[in-house]
Amino acid sequence: NTMKKHILPVTLGLFGLMSGPLLAQDATTAAADAVTYATASDISYILNTLLFLIGGFLVMWMAAGFAMLEAGLVRTKNVSMQCLKNISLFSVAGIMFWLVGYNLMYEGVDGGFMGTPLPKDIPAPGDDSGDYAAASDWFFQMVFCATTASIVSGTMAERIKFWPFIIFTTILTGILYPITGSWEWGAGWLDAKGFSDFAGSTLVHSVGGWAALAGALILGARKGKYAADGRVIPLPGSSMPLATLGTFILWLGWFGFNGASQLAMGTIEDASSISRIFANTNIAAAAGVVTVVILTQILYKRMDISMALNGALAGLVSITAEPLMPNLFQAAFIGAIGGVIVVFVVPLLDKLKIDDVVGAIPVHLIAGIWGTLIVPLTNSDATYGIQLLGVVAIGAFTFIASAAIWYGLKATIGIRVSDAEEAMGLDKVEVGVEAYPEFGQGSARL
Amino acid sequence: NTMKKHILPVTLGLFGLMSGPLLAQDATTAAADAVTYATASDISYILNTLLFLIGGFLVMWMAAGFAMLEAGLVRTKNVSMQCLKNISLFSVAGIMFWLVGYNLMYEGVDGGFMGTPLPKDIPAPGDDSGDYAAASDWFFQMVFCATTASIVSGTMAERIKFWPFIIFTTILTGILYPITGSWEWGAGWLDAKGFSDFAGSTLVHSVGGWAALAGALILGARKGKYAADGRVIPLPGSSMPLATLGTFILWLGWFGFNGASQLAMGTIEDASSISRIFANTNIAAAAGVVTVVILTQILYKRMDISMALNGALAGLVSITAEPLMPNLFQAAFIGAIGGVIVVFVVPLLDKLKIDDVVGAIPVHLIAGIWGTLIVPLTNSDATYGIQLLGVVAIGAFTFIASAAIWYGLKATIGIRVSDAEEAMGLDKVEVGVEAYPEFGQGSARL
Amino acid sequence: NTMKKHILPVTLGLFGLMSGPLLAQDATTAAADAVTYATASDISYILNTLLFLIGGFLVMWMAAGFAMLEAGLVRTKNVSMQCLKNISLFSVAGIMFWLVGYNLMYEGVDGGFMGTPLPKDIPAPGDDSGDYAAASDWFFQMVFCATTASIVSGTMAERIKFWPFIIFTTILTGILYPITGSWEWGAGWLDAKGFSDFAGSTLVHSVGGWAALAGALILGARKGKYAADGRVIPLPGSSMPLATLGTFILWLGWFGFNGASQLAMGTIEDASSISRIFANTNIAAAAGVVTVVILTQILYKRMDISMALNGALAGLVSITAEPLMPNLFQAAFIGAIGGVIVVFVVPLLDKLKIDDVVGAIPVHLIAGIWGTLIVPLTNSDATYGIQLLGVVAIGAFTFIASAAIWYGLKATIGIRVSDAEEAMGLDKVEVGVEAYPEFGQGSARL
């Protein structure tokens, strides 16, 4: 039951075990002036903070990864809109997680169901206390919140209006994500029960996935995706290299996502743990890719680049709930199953006529559930029952709350563009700037 | 009056306050052999250097951000050229800031108007002294210089010839930027007066903006941009996802730009300050985006992705002069005004027929002025009068010197391609390689 | 004769020289409880590990750089395939360097010709010993191995089948690269002789280049590249901005590649060395670009963006064998010759009808040889004779072994698509997803 918030006192443990230098009453004061020694707690503070900042900027970079992945997987006529949604959601997440979210997630949860929804205050540098800089912690937690919102934008692309999406994002990042987050990382009731989700297979990825699934069901599929006779019509994305770039960005950012979730770098054991997390994270992603490539070759006699990319992401999501305890064989196994999930759940969703433009539901929701449920395999502090409880509780809350919000938005301002607008593309309707004005048959001069 | 160059003696302050371990004359030597302790100054040196290196590679990455932003905002027929200009200017900046710029900016300025234009020498590792590695400092300062040149290339895109642009870049990065930089970060006369520009709203962004403005005025607008009847003809950029990618890269890089401008990471207070800077930087950018999106919706009933991207950048530029002292509300306010500047200055420049291809003048020059002037709101060491003095002095010097150079280039080798060449696109004229040879109506086979 | 593997004992040197605090028998124990001091070895361990992780994620990011460079330099019809190859090879490299490669390269080489091909085991965090975390070292070395494979994929693009390429990658990353790597970085026979290759001009770049050259010779040129009358037909790449992005990514990643090859960050001297490496690396790349731009202007009266990009890469490869010892003038010279190599070797290969799609052979093989041979200019521990021996031995082994594997693959499963398939493009034949389905004349609806 890792808690994201507090740095474990063990940070100073290793140092504490050593016999520190003693103050000798009869020592020469002059000698002391010549050389001062660093205290373990100061250095831990600095290194912990540095870990949050490096991890934080790597996860921030994932916002660009989602933007590129989604820009590459939607059609030309909706690319500008997808870019706009991604930079907007990252901005909204930053503001909401400051104004409401952070303290709702972390302040005074005390085994309960939520904290206190007040703006996060950053102390003046001289007044900062604790085991790391408060602002570095805020920054690191904020980019996780933003990741959750990024997941939603992909699934619902190409037909949802801008403003209802932004309103949902505001609520998701300010209220929904922080509430379920507080249950575990805020030391709430799930944490007290022993639920374990190291870096957020459930708290981040599945939460985003549940919100996306609720939205996709209420929003409906894109026009032309499912023919009257039941056939699935491929609506291929506009740019595979951008989707590939996005995936590599996400893979890179994931080292910060999982690695810095160790939350401390002041001891040998922490540094060793972070390194092990890097290795496991990479092996899981690699296993996801290799699994998808082999399976698609066997099943379809060809490969599919977008499936291979999603294989990497599913491997990454799968290992996120427990990237520390597995050995490399276990990490490879966990990631490989993520790849299997992609290969089988993508067509399954199409059978169910759930139109998930970028495959976020298999990658983030289903692989997130898988990763969370398998934690007890390698972490003896976790139990399958409690893991299932966490998956169900967080899933039920997020799905129901999201569905209620989507319904509310649908009933009031509407969430979907008209059929004519959808055919024309969101770029012309709402953005007014085409993504590729000089080429692209799906697009044309305004 | 922060000086970029010297690490403040406070670096060792916190350690100094603690009672260091004393040398006991009667202690057991054997015990001392068993465990050696780290000295605070060694650790500070390493952490300060690490901060420069991490900050430096993040700001170096901004060169790619500018390249992608500009490649996305110019038309297809000029994209290869824009890429070539960006990699060339980064290279030229690196060489000039080594051969001339660094010492011109930092060596022996002593309250004056410039330093000594000699090549920067990197000491052998064993000989390095001071509070950080000399080469890490050079690297960090060099990428700031390169940023300044990147700003110019965007404004003047699509009609300026390659070589005059490179000659200007050579002078800007070797001489102009270092001279005004020396006034403040080199501990020159403006620093002595109490001017404050933490990470370079004026010294980097406005200097680039002034040079770009002088160039744009002398170069003239692109053919077809302003109709005879005064209408403004949109010349939409070739790729919004690349422009979006560029903006995300810049946003990421800005954490290094502002954060590492703290210049030290060896104390708790430094680590706390860097973290606070990260938070303020992110909130200012987010506020810039949200402001632009809301304003464009109100004013134009639609959003504009390129304006939203520039909103992020303007928020970032605005907070750059003082990213440490504001609280998050103040940071949001400062960034939001940056967004307002974008919405109102972009059309204003068009009214004045100043053709700024990527919006660098509102983003870097005007938001840079705003950010510099508002410093006294949160930093009581700064005064509005001295801030204005700095803005005017640096602006006047850069604008006049740049204009003189642009005029000189225009009168000698010429700075603009012919109308026929401009219509054909710079890629065919000077680069010989089209950006997208297989598609793009603006482009065609050579 | 730097060895990549072991952290030099000098890591603790500087600390050791200082008189550590002594344990006073009569000191007050209470005082000791109040303040604990950090031990130098703990801090070194953490900082060394951090260096590997930061350097490692920067080099991992180079995988995206190669993907974008190659996606930009192949034609539209082969872009999806190039993306698939790049994410697949990075995955395969990660798995093979875990299952076989790492220990084959580093375990028990002892002056010999190879180590022990067993899976790398990551110790539990509490059991990690040594001067850095074992997993951080594995991660850092793994991304170098992956880089080698990335080099091959570019040269052989647009006509090689997916599966033979993957099989070759499996052998290259699991066996070939680790064997020659063991000779030097694994403390094998070449290291014993005094060969010097700091960050891998030969061990990484030339090895990739030799494997690519062998493959290109056996695979043959693309159809239509060399006309019957001997003319060279340009087959321009699909996207110059993606190629530019790829180059900037590689440039950024190279700071990790060369900088973190210092292998330690626990002392002032290490931090200073890493910084000097950053500066030299940047200057070499910049000199490569400037040299290419000037030379192409003189020789061809125009510039070539893809040559300029390769100039940066050749400068980077050239400095990689010895990025620490040169001063900045020497670094500029070494990088500039890299640029010269690009300008003259690219057309030379075309004369020899060796079809190297992205220019990897001049950039990685020839500039890698140059960089390795010039080491003695600045590093007095190296000799020209031994450097030549290393270049020849590693080249001969890699070229012959690669050729044998390529021949074996050709004779069995075949390595090349049919002429009709090559004309159609690999995306349709093997990937089933076009890169840009809505535009691009080279591509069309499936």
| DSSP track, B365-418 | IIHHHHHHHTHHHH-TT--HHHHHHHHHHHHHHHHHHHHHHHHHHHHTT-SB--
| Contact by Cβ (8 Å): B83, B71 | yes
Integer angstrom CA distances of residue B76 from B309, B431, B436: 20, 13, 7
Residues in B touching A90 (Cβ below 8 Å): 286
Report pLDDT for A34. Answer: 65
B90, B92, B135 ranked by CB distance to C279: nearest = B135
Residue to test with chain A: of B282, B378, B434, most A Cβ within 10 A: B282
Subunit contact B24:C27, Cβ cutoff 8 A: yes
Report pLDDT for B123. Answer: 94
**Cα atoms in the 13 Å half-sphere on the side-chain side of A302:** 14
Give the DSSP letter string of C186-222.
T--HHHHHT---SS-IIIIIIHHHHHHHHHHHHH-PP
In degrees, rounded to 5, the angle at the alpha carbon of residue C204 between the alpha carbons of residues C203 and C207 is 75
Report pLDDT for C26. Answer: 40
Residue A272 to residue C125: CA distance in whole angstroms = 5
- Going by pLDDT thresholds of 50, 70 and 90, the confidence category of residue B432 is confident
pLDDT per residue as tens digits for the range B396-415: 999 999 999 999 999 999 99
Tell me what the pLDDT averaged over chain B comes to: 91
pLDDT per residue as tens digits for the range C230-280: 899 999 999 999 999 999 999 999 999 999 999 999 999 999 999 999 999
pLDDT per residue as tens digits for the range B332-367: 999 999 999 999 999 999 999 999 999 999 999 999
Report pLDDT for A443. Answer: 38
- Going by pLDDT thresholds of 50, 70 and 90, the confidence category of residue C10 is very low
| Subunits adjacent to chain C (3 or more Cβ pairs under 8 Å) | A, B
| Contact by Cβ (8 Å): B19, A37 | no
Subunit contact B128:C289, Cβ cutoff 8 A: no
pLDDT per residue as tens digits for the range A188-245: 999 999 999 999 999 999 999 999 999 999 999 999 999 988 899 999 999 999 999 9
Report pLDDT for C433. Answer: 85
Residue B53 to residue B33: CA distance in whole angstroms = 33
Q: Give Cα B69 distance to the centre of its chain.
A: 14
For residue A18, what are the contacts with CB-CB under 8 A and spacing of at least 6? Answer: B35, C36, C39
Residues in A touching B18 (Cβ below 8 Å): 36, 39
Residues in C touching B243 (Cβ below 8 Å): none
Residues in B touching C25 (Cβ below 8 Å): 24, 26-28
pLDDT per residue as tens digits for the range B160-206: 999 999 999 999 999 999 999 999 999 999 999 999 999 999 999 99
pLDDT per residue as tens digits for the range A93-111: 999 999 999 999 999 999 9
Lowest mean pLDDT of C23-27, C122-126, C383-387, name the range: C23-27
Tell me what the pLDDT averaged over chain A comes to: 91
Give the DSSP letter string of B185-212.
TT--HHHHHT---SS-IIIIIIHHHHHH
Residue C230 to residue A445: CA distance in whole angstroms = 44
| Subunits adjacent to chain B (3 or more Cβ pairs under 8 Å) | A, C
Residue B320 to residue A232: CA distance in whole angstroms = 51
3-state secondary structure of C349: helix
| Contact by Cβ (8 Å): A224, A394 | no
pLDDT per residue as tens digits for the range C331-340: 999 999 999 9
| Contact by Cβ (8 Å): B364, B308 | no
Residue A281 to residue B42: CA distance in whole angstroms = 33
Residues in B touching A21 (Cβ below 8 Å): 21, 37
Q: What are phi and psi of C258, to 5 degrees?
A: -85, -45
| Subunits adjacent to chain A (3 or more Cβ pairs under 8 Å) | B, C
Subunit contact B39:A37, Cβ cutoff 8 A: yes
For residue A301, what are the contacts with CB-CB under 8 A and spacing of at least 6? Answer: none
What tokens appear for B358 in the block? Answer: 């990527």
* Listed residue (A209, A211, A213) closest to A371, CA to CA: A209
pLDDT at residue B20 is higher than 60: no
pLDDT per residue as tens digits for the range B256-306: 999 999 999 999 999 999 999 999 999 999 999 999 999 999 999 999 999
Report pLDDT for B151. Answer: 96
Other CB atoms closer than 10 Å to residue A238's CB: what's the count?
27
Compare all CA atoms of chain C with the CA of B126 and give the residue at the minimum distance. C269
Residue A398 to residue B38: CA distance in whole angstroms = 49
Instruction: Pinpoint the alpha helices (H) of A97-133.
Output: 102-106
Subunit contact A306:C433, Cβ cutoff 8 A: yes
Report pLDDT for A359. Answer: 96
Domains, chain C, ranges and CATH?
40-123+130-431 (1.10.3430.10)
| Contact by Cβ (8 Å): B270, B264 | yes
pLDDT per residue as tens digits for the range A7-25: 333 333 333 333 334 333 3
Subunit contact B259:A49, Cβ cutoff 8 A: no
Q: Crossing angle, helix B134-155 and helix B177-184, to 10 degrees? A: 130
Closest CA–CA distance from residue A254 to any residue of chain B (Å):
15
| Average pLDDT over every residue of A354-382 | 97
pLDDT per residue as tens digits for the range C271-325: 999 999 999 999 999 999 999 999 999 999 999 999 999 999 999 999 999 999 9
Subunit contact A278:C87, Cβ cutoff 8 A: no
B35, B81, B436 ranked by CB distance to C239: nearest = B436
Report pLDDT for A440. Answer: 58
pLDDT at residue B13 is higher than 60: no
Residues facing residue A160 across a β-bridge: A416
pLDDT per residue as tens digits for the range A157-175: 999 999 999 999 999 999 9
A31, A88, A439 ranked by CB distance to B439: nearest = A439
Residue A443 to residue C323: CA distance in whole angstroms = 49
Residues in B touching C238 (Cβ below 8 Å): 436-438
In degrees, rounded to 5, the angle at the alpha carbon of residue B19 between the alpha carbons of residues B15 and B23 is 110
pLDDT per residue as tens digits for the range A115-132: 999 999 999 988 998 999
How would you label B377-416 residue by residue, b for 16+ Cβ within 10 Å and e otherwise? ebbeebbeebbeebbebbbebbbebbbebbeebeeeeebb
Closest CA–CA distance from residue A258 to any residue of chain C (Å):
13
pLDDT per residue as tens digits for the range B117-169: 999 999 998 899 899 999 999 999 999 999 999 999 999 999 999 999 999 99
Residues in A touching C49 (Cβ below 8 Å): 271-272, 274-275
